[in-house]
Amino acid sequence: MKLKIDKFPEYLINFTTVDFDKYFLNKNTILDIGCGEGEFIVDLASLYPKRQFIGVEIKYGRIIKCLKKAHANKLHNVKFALCDATLFTTKVLKTNSINKVFINNPDPWPKEKHQKNRLVNLELLTGIYQKLKRKGSLIIKTDSNKYFREIKRAILKTNLSPDKSIDLLDSSIPLTKFQKFYKKDDKKIYSIKVLKK
């Protein structure tokens, strides 16, 4: 299986090298946490060629699809990390290195016994706050009202502040694969945007 991922080294992040640090120098960098099969971040990278994009995903098969999409679109401004999102955000990224973070439809783990597996929690949000640049923003979307309420309660325990502004990128955000399904079925998507002041 390793051979498949090695076919696309230009799109795969090796965060143990000096090149990883150089990737952030004087760049407007956008992070997609739990990027799935990459359709969202690849669309954004195509729309904004002057910005840098990073997708983080823990599942190998999904990362392969991300790499293939980036290669097929001949993109030069997107890379992917095969890594646990919380580990990548809290331990790998440098402080004040990210301009914007997206978390789209994280698994709500609806059964109570599984809720400890939820991605968005105080540890991740605190890590995101530290890695955002000043005035950097975080946008979270979920189809679970219960999870959304939990996310908002966790945000209140951080220094992130509500942000009602909409910039050009926010207004042109493509839908993810799941969001297209939800829209077709008239299922509500709950969204929140917060800012590091």
CA-to-CA separations, 149 to 6, 157, 176, in angstroms, rounded: 41, 13, 21
Cα(101)–Cα(2) distance, integer angstroms: 28
- Name the strands in the sheet holding 190-195, side by side, starting at the edge strand that comes first in the sequence: 78-82, 52-57, 29-33, 98-104, 132-142, 190-195, 161-162
Cα(170)–Cα(175) distance, integer angstroms: 12
Q: Read off the DSSP letter of residue 5.
A: H
The catalytic residue among 107, 170, 185, 186 is 107
> What DSSP letter does each residue of 117-185 carry, written as one string?
G-S-SHHHHHHHHHHEEEEEEEEEEES-HHHHHHHHHHHTTSS-EE-----HHHHTPPPPHHHHHHHHT
107 is catalytic: yes
Tell me the catalytic residues. 107
